[in-house]
Amino acid sequence: MNILLLEGRAVQHLNSALTAWGHTVLPGDRPLKPQLVAAVDVVIAERIETDGVDIELINLLQWCQDHCVYCLLVGETSDEEPSKPFILPLSKPVSIVDLKSVLSLLPSGRTGMCDEVEIRHQLQATQDVIASERRLVRRALEQFINIEQLADPAVKVWTRSTNVLSGDIVLSARTPANVLHLMMVDDMCCGALSVVSTIPVISPFYRMTEKGFGIDAITKEINSRLFRFYPEGQRVSAIVVSIDFSDGVINIWKGGDGFPILLGSARSDQAVTLRPALGTVSPEVFDARTDVWTFQGDVLFALGSTGLLRHFSAKNPDTSALENFDRWLQGHGIPQFSVLKELDLLNDLDASDGMSLALVSCHRDPKNLQEYGVLHSKQASGGEWRLSLVISPDEMRTVDVVPLLLGVIGQFETTRAMGGVLFVVLSELYNNALDHGLLGLDSALKLSVDGMSAFLDERSARLAVLQQGEIELSLVQEHGPDGPMLSVLCRDSGPGFDHNAQLKDSPASDAQNLPYGRGLALISSFASKVEFNPAGNQLRVQLKVTPDNVPESAIS
Amino acid sequence: MQTSVTTTDGRAVVRLQGRFDFNSHREFREAVDGVLQQSAVHEIVVDLGNVEYLDSSALGMLLMVRDKARSTSKEVALANCKGAVKQVLEIANFSKLFTIS
């Protein structure tokens, strides 16, 4: 090797030894000159103990670092620590007695040294990226999880992680109808991957809750996303809960090992159906059905993670984990929910696993609803939605329009229970628009012996050759002074009809045996308002979105 | 819509399942025509217990069955009406036209 031997009392006598060991010794002075770079493999300098900062030494080491040159700092005594890194990665304090062996161990030539420098640089860069990534991930997770939503007055959440980023995530939000949605995701991946993997979970939860979708639709959507986008074997354990405070109903979808429990006097830890974790099964076979619990008065609902369950399982083997958990909570003032905000509940637990706990104060007292009045009114605007469909003859021949719309409307929590009513309204509106507005059919055809068949045959024949025309169906949910209203508009491109005369002569009122003429009467019976445009080719129906518009069986 | 028919002691039960609207006309007609042609049948019960929805076309079809049944001296009753189905039948005053249970 080409060794640059810098001046210094301790190294002066090394010249002959280095030459004897087969190295080429170059004398040098500080500061080092750039032209030496190409010729030098190793720099040997004297190590001088100093109380202050040795600027010269730092410059020397930096020069060596920059040019992939090893720097050995040689001391006079033999009690140095020859393997301990010193200041910069490529510099070592070396005792003179060890110098020969140290030189023999150095990478041969500058290429090897440069490789080592490069590796160290890459390692440092990677560590910097990891540190930066962790900061970013923590920030991103806080944003995704939406800490503000967790500030719901009825919900308290504790999480305790065992890593930089916990594998548990707790989400909560309210629908426009003031139903609380709570989701506990267990054992998500840690680190930067946790952010990526939570996107298909967190985004639909908040977006669909805000729009009023039920948890069945939400779990379906999340499962579908995970199934499509996640690699095989990468699944998400989760429990999703909806709590309707006004009806005292808790719906639970459980696709993980965590636990839901009602505490206090209403203690209930009845078994909940365990479904495959989200993303495990294809959307076609995914089972979004929920278990239903009910409550009266004041109760406390708890949702705990797998880690919490494991901890309480181990705490007292003679009793169940949930009993241990219940007792532990009672020791912290349960069911006095208000006390809990002062406690850091999970800190006194000794566990090697990440743990999360969400407690929900459930009051079925109607007065309690006023407590959430501000929240409700704030989120109510988010529950306004509009759905519009315009179809042309090709689609009229192939698409089953009413079930299509019902499938979408059924995703919304507020209108899902109105399926029966909406089926009638949409069917009547659409069929009238098509049969009479575009196809020009006369219902009197139904009066013959096989009138219905004749009518439908004629309908099929005319629809098969229909070239022009369109039907628009629009649904708008808005919040009026008396609560949410659903406005259904049906417009066809036909010439319209004299609706006043038609209604006046409607056979429904005086000839109940006729096989037609009941459509408008049915619509009117459900609607708050029915309104034709002057041309008679557009009808707007307004429906109250309330349990009043839900058949009895749907309510029960 | 799916249909099934069972006949016992002059009583035919036509069970419907699914969505009962104009699209179901052919299936419904095939089910009831077979029963109407059986002289031994005196009563036809249309079981609506598994019907999710029905519209005014379905009401028309029920009336058609009733008219045809009368011409062959048969009675028609509607059974297991509930929820949205019951609501529509009530609005249409079908309790005056059929025996409903």
String of DSSP letters for A247-258? TTEEEEEEESS-
What pLDDT, on a 0 to 100 scale, did the predictor assign at position A84? 38
Amino acid at A205: F
Q: Do residues A253 and A274 lie in contact, with contact meaning Cβ atoms separated by under 8 Å?
A: no
Top-confidence range, A29-33, A38-42, A277-281: A277-281
CB contact under 8 A, A424 and B59: no
The overall average pLDDT reported for chain A is 75
CB contact under 8 A, A424 and B56: yes
B71 — contact with chain A (CB < 8 Å)? no
What pLDDT, on a 0 to 100 scale, did the predictor assign at position A167? 62
Contacts of B96 in chain A (CB under 8 A): 512
- Please say if the pLDDT value at position A81 is more than 50: no
CB contact under 8 A, B83 and A420: yes
Task: Pick A518's closest partner by Cβ from B29, B85, B92.
Answer: B92
C-alpha–C-alpha distance, residues A552 and B82, integer Å = 8
* Residue of A434, A518, A550 to mutate for B, most B C-beta atoms under 10 A: A518
Spatial CB neighbours of B71, under 8 Å, sequence gap ≥ 6: none
Backbone angles phi, psi at A309, to 5 degrees: -65, -45
Q: Give the gap in angstroms from C-alpha A407 to the nearest C-alpha of chain B.
A: 13
The edge-to-edge listing of strands for the beta sheet with B43-54 is B2-8, B11-20, B43-54, B75-79, B99-100
Q: What is the pLDDT of residues B66-81, one digit of tens each?
A: 888 988 889 999 999 9
* Residue of A452, A455, A530, A553 to mutate for B, most B C-beta atoms under 10 A: A452
Q: What is the pLDDT of residues A456-485, one digit of tens each?
A: 889 999 999 999 999 999 998 887 777 788
Task: Pick B83's closest partner by Cβ from A424, A431, A553.
Answer: A553
C-alpha–C-alpha distance, residues A527 and A544, integer Å = 7
CB contact under 8 A, B64 and A419: no
Residues of A with CB under 8 A from a CB of B: 400, 402-403, 419-421, 423-424, 427-428, 431, 446, 451-453, 456, 512-516, 518-519, 521-522, 525-526, 551-554
Residue range A210-215: mean pLDDT, rounded:
84
CB contact under 8 A, A513 and B84: no
The residue with greater pLDDT, A189 or B29, is B29
Length of chain B: 101
Backbone angles phi, psi at A536, to 5 degrees: 80, 20
- Please say if the pLDDT value at position A394 is more than 70: yes
Backbone angles phi, psi at A538, to 5 degrees: -145, 130
CB contact under 8 A, A516 and B56: yes
Task: Pick A456's closest partner by Cβ from B22, B52, B56.
Answer: B22
Contacts of A446 in chain B (CB under 8 A): 60
CB contact under 8 A, A513 and B23: no
B11 — contact with chain A (CB < 8 Å)? no
Task: Pick A423's closest partner by Cβ from B55, B63, B97.
Answer: B55
Q: What is the pLDDT of residues A62-78, one digit of tens each?
A: 777 777 777 777 765 44
* Residue of A400, A402, A424, A436 to mutate for B, most B C-beta atoms under 10 A: A424
Q: Do residues A242 and A212 lie in contact, with contact meaning Cβ atoms separated by under 8 Å?
A: no
- A297 burial (CB, 10 Å; 0-12 / 13-18 / 19+) is exposed
The residue with greater pLDDT, A143 or A386, is A386
Spatial CB neighbours of A151, under 8 Å, sequence gap ≥ 6: none
What pLDDT, on a 0 to 100 scale, did the predictor assign at position B5? 93
C-alpha–C-alpha distance, residues B2 and B80, integer Å = 16
Q: Flag whether the pTM goes above 0.80.
A: no
C-alpha–C-alpha distance, residues A475 and A45, integer Å = 84
CB contact under 8 A, B84 and A516: no
Amino acid at A290: T
B49 — contact with chain A (CB < 8 Å)? no
Contacts of A402 in chain B (CB under 8 A): 21
Q: What is the pLDDT of residues B15-57, one digit of tens each?
A: 998 889 888 888 998 999 989 999 899 999 999 998 888 888 8
C-alpha–C-alpha distance, residues A324 and A333, integer Å = 15
C-alpha–C-alpha distance, residues A6 and A494, integer Å = 100
Exposure b/e, A200-224, CB count within 10 A at least 16 = b: bbbebbbebbbbbbbbbbbbbbbbb
Assembly ipTM: 0.86
3-state secondary structure B64-97: HHHHHHHHCCCEEEEECCCHHHHHHHHHCCHHHC
Q: Give the gap in angstroms from C-alpha A538 to the nearest C-alpha of chain B.
A: 19
The residue with greater pLDDT, A149 or A223, is A223
Structure tokens at B65: 């069955």
The residue with greater pLDDT, A375 or A90, is A90
What pLDDT, on a 0 to 100 scale, did the predictor assign at position A76? 54
* Residue of A415, A423, A520 to mutate for B, most B C-beta atoms under 10 A: A423
Peptide bond into A176 cis (omega under 30): no
The partner residues of A236 in beta bridges, in order of sequence, read A278
B27 — contact with chain A (CB < 8 Å)? no
Q: What is the pLDDT of residues A492-541, one digit of tens each?
A: 998 887 777 666 655 444 445 666 667 888 888 888 888 888 888 999 99
What pLDDT, on a 0 to 100 scale, did the predictor assign at position A380? 36
Neighbours of A153 (CB within 10 A): 10
The residue with greater pLDDT, A436 or A177, is A436
Contacts of A525 in chain B (CB under 8 A): 91
Q: Do residues A555 and A540 lie in contact, with contact meaning Cβ atoms separated by under 8 Å?
A: no
DSSP A368-382: HHHHTHHHHHHHHGG
- A45 burial (CB, 10 Å; 0-12 / 13-18 / 19+) is buried
Contacts of A431 in chain B (CB under 8 A): 22, 55, 57
CB contact under 8 A, A518 and B97: no
Q: Give the gap in angstroms from C-alpha A543 to the nearest C-alpha of chain B.
A: 15
Neighbours of A146 (CB within 10 A): 15
Distances (CA, A) of A458 to A463, B65, B91: 8, 21, 29
The residue with greater pLDDT, A127 or A494, is A494
Task: Pick A551's closest partner by Cβ from B56, B60, B84.
Answer: B84
The residue with greater pLDDT, A352 or A373, is A352
- Identify the CA nearest to A381 among candidates A170, A225, A212: A212
Instruction: Indicate the pairing of strand B75-79 with strand B99-100.
Output: parallel
Helix/strand/coil for A481: coil
Lowest pLDDT segment from A150-154, A422-426, A438-442 = A150-154
Nearest chain A Cα to B21, which residue?
A427
Task: Work out the pLDDT band at A333, boundaries 50, 70, 90.
Answer: low
CB contact under 8 A, A553 and B82: yes
Spatial CB neighbours of A265, under 8 Å, sequence gap ≥ 6: A299, A335
The residue with greater pLDDT, B48 or A11, is B48
Structure tokens at A459: 């309908």
For chain A, give the percent of residues with pLDDT over 90. Answer: 11
B63 — contact with chain A (CB < 8 Å)? yes
Size of interface A-B (CB pairs under 8 A): 92
Contacts of A453 in chain B (CB under 8 A): 25, 29
Q: Do residues A134 and A321 lie in contact, with contact meaning Cβ atoms separated by under 8 Å?
A: no
User: How many Cα neighbours within 13 Å face the side chain of B63?
Assistant: 28
